[in-house]
Structure 1
Amino acid sequence: MNEQVSSRLWTMRLSFGLLVLVILFLHLLPLQTGGGGLIWPDFVLCFALAWSVRRPEFVPAILLAAMFLLSDLLLQRPPGLWAVLALIACEQMKGQSRALRDAPVATEFVSVGIWIVGVGIAYQIILAIMLVDGTPMIPALIQIVVTVLAYPLVVAITHGIMGVRKAAPNELGGKGFGS
């Protein structure tokens, strides 16, 4: 039985890594060859937050850090800044996952939305303080809003298609995480 749980744990961790790689691959495809295209949500952050709330054991900090750093490098952002901010948000949501397990879905959306807004604004402020050229403020704010609005869709995909659901009370281990 314990071997089956361990196998599922590593399968889901591998699945998360592959999911992030697919998202990054699709993001890097030259689908918008003209200027002024659509502003897409940060799906990597959305899925990381959704998995952090639902099953924190599936996304350990080292995996999240590696995936966020990889996305920084591939998307040509300053290496590590977005990764650190996103990792802080995910780890905080992991800490709240037990309380959010029994809370209404709207509470989860508000909590995650606050973190998405906080990470996005902190990223822009730090870039401005360090005098690093980043995304102009209006498109950055639009991406923050679009990311918050995309979170319910990501939760539906995570829950319905991928089967990553919140742990039931009898599934929780000593740390409050699913076993």
Structure 2
Amino acid sequence: MVDPLRRDVLVHRSIFVGVALALIFLRLLPMGSAAGSLPGPDILLCLILAWVQRRPDYLPALLIAAVVLLEDLLLMRPPGLWTALVVLGTEILRSRIALTRELSFAVEWLFMAVLMMALFLGYRMAFAITFLPQTSFGYAMTQVVASILVYPGVVWLSHLTLGVHKPGMGEVDDKGRRL
């Protein structure tokens, strides 16, 4: 028999993989790719950051790396660059979870905005150092701003529909450790 806490973690991990695959599939569809259109937000990044902020036990680093690497390969980005940056960002977030858990949502949103901006600048810097062609700064910045603006909606939807919430004061994980 599977422990209910362990089952909850496994269910949420499989839900995350399913939602991530659906989001990657939607990004692969040729919709809205007309010249001059604005880029959409990176909803997968918002989802990863929201889940790691709320329940870091649901998303281990290897699962994040596998999903983002798959996205890198399917979207024909340099394999591993965005993956490494996202894993680094989530591990920074995970290491500060005790400090950020009790913050208000406005401060959390600001922290996520700074983190998304740092990931964006690190990605652009890696492209600049290696002299790879990249989109214009303003166009790429529009995607980051859109991602920052969509973050509260992703948090609300994942809480409302998927039950991903910040743990309560006495809540413990499957090994009896405080969350």
Per the normalisation by structure 2, the TM-score is 0.93
Cα distance in 1, alignment partners of residues 89 and 39 from structure 2: 22
Are the aligned partners of 2:65 and 2:83 in contact in 1 as well (CA < 8 Å)? Answer: yes
> In the comparison of the two structures, how many residue pairs are matched?
178
Residue 135 (structure 1) aligned with residue 135 (structure 2): yes
Which has more helix, going by share of residues?
1
Cα distance, 1:125 vs structure 2: 1.1
Cα distance in 2, alignment partners of residues 44 and 149 from structure 1: 14
2:85 matched to which residue of 1? Answer: 85
C-alpha change, 1:140 and 1:110, in structure 2 (3 Å) is same
Residue 49 (structure 1) aligned with residue 60 (structure 2): no
1:60 matched to which residue of 2? Answer: 60
Cα distance, 1:36 vs structure 2: 2.1
Cα distance in 2, alignment partners of residues 25 and 160 from structure 1: 23
Give matches, 1:116-135, under 5 Å.
116-135=116-135
Cα distance, 1:135 vs structure 2: 2.2
2:75 matched to which residue of 1? Answer: 75
Structure 1: which 5+ residue stretches go unaligned?
A: none
Cα distance, 1:136 vs structure 2: 2.0
Give matches, 1:1-179, under 5 Å.
3-173=3-173, 178=179
Structural RMSD (CA) = 1.8
Cα distance in 1, alignment partners of residues 33 and 166 from structure 2: 40
**Deviating more after overlay: 26-35 vs 110-119:** 26-35
C-alpha change, 1:126 and 1:8, in structure 2 (3 Å) is same
Per the normalisation by structure 1, the TM-score is 0.93
Matched residue SS, 1:58: coil
Q: Which residue identity lines up with residue 134 of structure 1 in the other structure? A: Q
Which string of whole-angstrom CA distances, capped at 9 and with x for unpartnered residues, describes residues 132-168 of structure 1? 1122211111111111111111111111121100011
Q: Which residue identity lines up with residue 139 of structure 1 in the other structure? A: Y
Structure 2: which 5+ residue stretches go unaligned?
A: none
Cα distance, 1:100 vs structure 2: 2.2
Cα distance, 1:124 vs structure 2: 0.6
Q: Which residue identity lines up with residue 78 of structure 1 in the other structure? A: P
Percent identity between the aligned chains?
34
Matched residue SS, 1:170: coil
